[in-house]
Amino acid sequence: MMAGVLELRQVERHYLQGQKKLTILSGTDFSLAGGEMVAMVAPSGAGKSTLLHTAGLLERPDGGDVIIADRACGRLSDGERTAIRRNDIGFVYQFHHLLPEFSAQENIMMPQLIRGLSAEEAGKRAMQLLDYMQIAHRAQHRPAELSGGEQQRVAIARAVANAPLVLLADEPTGNLDPTTAGYVFDALAALVKQSGLAALIATHNHELARRMDRRVTLRDGKIVEL
């Protein structure tokens, strides 16, 4: 079998709470292929955020390794991990975290400018993504002037602005009503299929989970298929 774009190999993650060691991830294996959309459905406190942060190189595993496009990331320097995070990983959260002073288009340009693209190139790509998310007509609006569904579409467009290999999402539609959640999900799913992204999406929404390629949960610190 071909190696996934994102691979977790025997990942360990523990927290110390006073004298007590909390084991969140233990011997976790996982593989995610390009163009694949996987739902992670698990109760609150099961370790979904810990897993997403570890897979997204925001936290280091205490054991095992995270492999992104054949690069073992566990022992890389902070600088190398930041570069991989910036270029190859996109994050979407439950709350959009858009910059309030900037327009939708400018928010999507930001990660591209940080990466070194010209304003012209970044602006063009931002407009393409807004068009793809069917909100091009909202490009010049600030986040506060957008609906919840529109804000999340902008947040998704921003997450994929640098054409990452992996998209990690923590309850991306958790703050939306069911109908809006469905529309935002449709846009996200189309983007994943069109771009060949590998997407891991934590959600409590069973209806949306059913529409993804696979469903996994966390049990005894391991990822298991549902």
Residues that bind ligand ADP (CB under 6 A): 15, 17, 22, 24, 42, 44-50
* CA distance readout (Å), 175 to 133, 170, 205: 18, 11, 11
Residue 34 or 174: the one with the smaller Cβ distance to ligand ADP is 174
Phi and psi of 173, rounded to 5°? -115, 15
Q: CA angle, 45 as apex, 13 and 80 as ends, to 5°?
A: 40
Taking the complex as a whole, the smallest distance from the CB of residue 208 to ligand ADP amounts, in Å, to 17
Residue 46 or 136: the one with the smaller Cβ distance to ligand ADP is 46
Q: In what order do the strands lie in the sheet with 198-202?
A: 89-92, 166-170, 198-202, 37-40, 214-219, 222-225
Residue 44 or 77: the one with the smaller Cβ distance to ligand ADP is 44
Residue 71 or 97: the one with the smaller Cβ distance to ligand ADP is 97
Taking the complex as a whole, the smallest distance from the CB of residue 22 to ligand ADP amounts, in Å, to 6
Taking the complex as a whole, the smallest distance from the CB of residue 21 to ligand ADP amounts, in Å, to 10
Can you read off the two tokens belonging to residue 188? 């996200």
